[in-house]
Structure 1
Amino acid sequence: MTLLKAGEIERLISNPPENMGPVLIFGPDTGLVAERAEKLVTNASTGNEDPFSLVKLDASGLVSDPNRLIDEVLTIPLFGGKRVIWVKDASGKNLIPAVEAILKPGNCPATVVIEGGDLKKGTGLRKLFETNKHATAIPCYADNDRGVDILIDQETREANVSISREARTALHALLGADRLASRGELKKLCLYAFKKGRIETGDIEAIIGDASALETSELIDAAATGDVAGLDHGLERLTHAGSKATILANQTLKHFQSLHRMRADVDSGKSVRQVVESQRPPIFFSRRPSIIRQLSVWSSKDTQKAMELLSQATSTSRRNDELSVAIVSDVLLTLSRVAKSRSNRGHA
């Protein structure tokens, strides 16, 4: 089966079909992988009161004993109903010997949900699922702006609190890389603002703090303004925190795409301040001085070259996960040196 699209994914997870074949959930957003797997397992188990019908397996055990999976799939539940098998932590493990048997027609009477990691296209377990008509592959990528808005709406509606436009804009710079982490931060924020019933930017600064910002907007701004020392420190913290370098590369690419569009407006005769203040959604007020400085440093030609480097780094790091931190660090340091050089020469 081909990769499912966003709308198809939500429909399948909310209402899994009775005859659904094995499902692989994978992607760089490990929080979203875990969230979707749990929802799918919960919905597939609805109505089955037999606690023994849900079996959780660690992928490591299936590597050493591949037959365990087909044995569990073919086991008849004690009290009837459909058996649900949840395989966790399949990233980096060779499960093909265990999975091949359940992908054969008629061999999978149970619902099998497998949590994978950031699997490369056209290889291993991902290739096996994407090319088999009896299986389903669900990709999980970092939330874009629309995804972050949906997540904010879900959590604020559930907590019965509102959120200001400025606070929503600020959250866009802090959320999106990992679904579970984003949801956890939003829950804390909603609880903090529950009594007054409205989330403001001050609440975000008080609850989410500087660490998340450093890993996203502050780290990107350090690269774009030539703050080599700040970038070095931020990259060190990124590595220790175990954050995904590919996600940072993609976020930086989006930033330079926005910078490129703004630079074009400046080149057409608008003032830098006017361009920055007219952006929609609005740029968070604390970042505006940095963006104004970046627009005075980066020319259209330079931003175009930066986008090419970032696009290549994003693609290369996804194909070489073990080298992703080194690849992304190198391109960010290159951009930071360019910004520092242009700034020193007074380039506009």
Structure 2
Amino acid sequence: MNLRGAQAARFFAKPDPGTVGALIYGGDAMRVALKRQELIANLAGPGADDEMRLTRMSGAEAKSDPAAVLDALKAVGFFPGPRVVFVDGVTEAQGGPILQALSDWSDGDAALVVTAGALKKTSKLRKAFEAHPKAVAVGLYDEPMGREEVEAAIAAEGLSLTPEARRGVEALSQQLDPGDFRQTLTKLSLYAGGSEVDADAVALMAPATVDADTDQVIAAAAEGQAGAIGPLMQRLSGQGVAAVTLVIFATRHFQQLHTAAVAGGVGGLRPPVYGPRRDAMERQVRAWGARKLEGALALLMETDLTLRSSARAPDMAVMERAFIRLAMMARS
């Protein structure tokens, strides 16, 4: 099945326990990551990670060991409860093991959750999940959150809002990307401490400079300005920005640069880029080149895996080190 809009939002919030698989795809990695987290939490329930009922692997790992996905689906866990196999960042070229696992799924197997970037209508992955009677495909696009999504996010934080505060929150949902919006609601919840939230509190918690600071630190890394990274990271840390958010945004930026480098310039990017940012990206594409950008993306993928692992290193320190390494690469 192909789900959209309110139908997709209801599926993420309350998935059918009999779901065989779900493909979540889109060009905005943050939107895909948030929906994937929500779906896995609602499919597997609390404690899935600790009880080893959640198996993770990347698209590259699935391709290198074609039997790994199907073996993970059919593995019997030590703890009772629903199981999920999550395969992250699958490309069309890595889709073979996913298609085989979906075809060979049988009763009692784990649910299969797959994420991917933007996929064309002709994608074999899309067609397989859309055609399967017990699987779904959900495409996420760069558009404001719907009313049901906003209401679900407010309810998840247990917020009580005055009518004026609710209007302010709804306005923020149209201005911020989903990750920043949810972080803002979390800060509101902590600030309110169970009390009703008014419009002044919404205005106080709204991120005034987060987007600008995030863009600045990514630009500093891309242009080799290592000395600027430390102060910017301190500011972002003080604003409550998560390291995972930074690595997702940085990956998206360097993916755009790589696409432009391969295509011969930013003119081929969709959606197109205009203004000062276009000039900066053109400059960065010339300075890096496709091969170095591939190295940058590999570094960011390694950093993303480290942040999502059980490593004890402070997340923001890991991210700052990655940005500095990128800045060094830009200079070389």
Give the TM-score normalised by the residue count of structure 1: 0.52
- Displacement of 1:145 in angstroms is 5.7
Partner-residue secondary structure (3-state), 1:37:
helix
Gaps of 5+ in 1: 216-239, 246-319, 334-348
1:122 paired residue number: 122
Taking the aligned partners of 1:62 and 1:136, their CA distance within structure 2 comes to: 20
- Partner of 1:26 in structure 2? 25
Residue 328 of structure 1 aligns to a residue whose secondary structure is: coil
* Residue type at the aligned position of 1:143: P
Which residue is equivalent to 2:36? Answer: 37
Match of 1:86 in 2: 86
Question: Is the 1:24–1:115 Cα contact (8 Å) retained in structure 2?
Answer: yes
Counterparts in 2 of 1:104 and 1:124: CA distance versus 1, 3 Å: closer
In the alignment, is the contact (CA less than 8 A) between 2:29 and 2:117 conserved in 1?
Answer: yes
Percent identity reads: 23
Bigger CA drift: 48-57 or 36-45? 48-57
In structure 2, what residue type is equivalent to 1:329? Y
Q: Does residue 66 of the first structure (1) align with residue 66 of the second (2)? A: yes
Alignment of 1:99-138 (within 5 A): 99-104=98-103, 106-107=105-106, 109-138=109-138
Moved more, 157-166 or 123-132: 157-166
Deviations 1:169-210 (A, max 9, x none): 6525532xx322210122224434559743335752664113
Please tell me whether residue 328 in structure 1 is matched to residue 273 in structure 2. Answer: yes
Distance 2:187 2:127 in 1: 39
RMSD: 4.4
* Matched letter for residue 123 of structure 1: S
- The separation in 2 between residues aligned to 1:184 and 1:30, in whole angstroms, is 16
Inter-partner Cα distance in structure 2 for 1:48 and 1:210:
36
Q: CA deviation at 1:148?
A: 6.7
Instruction: Tell me which structure has the larger Cα radius of gyration.
Output: 1
Name the CA shift for 1:199/1:89 in 2 (closer, same or farther; >3 Å).
farther
Q: Is the 8 A contact 1:59 1:88 kept in 2?
A: yes
Q: Show the counterpart of 2:232.
A: none
Of 194-203 and 183-192, deviating more is 194-203
Q: 2:21 corresponds to which letter in structure 1?
A: P
- Contact 2:12–2:39 (8 Å) recurs in 1: yes
Letter in 1 for 2:25: F
Q: Which runs of 5+ in 2 are unaligned?
A: 215-247, 254-264, 279-332
The 1-side partners of 2:9 and 2:123 are apart by 25
Q: Residue 88 of structure 1: CA displacement?
A: 2.2
The number of equivalent residue pairs is 233
Q: Secondary structure at the match of 1:138?
A: strand
Q: In structure 2, how many angstroms separate the alpha carbons of the residues matched to 1:66 and 1:321?
A: 36
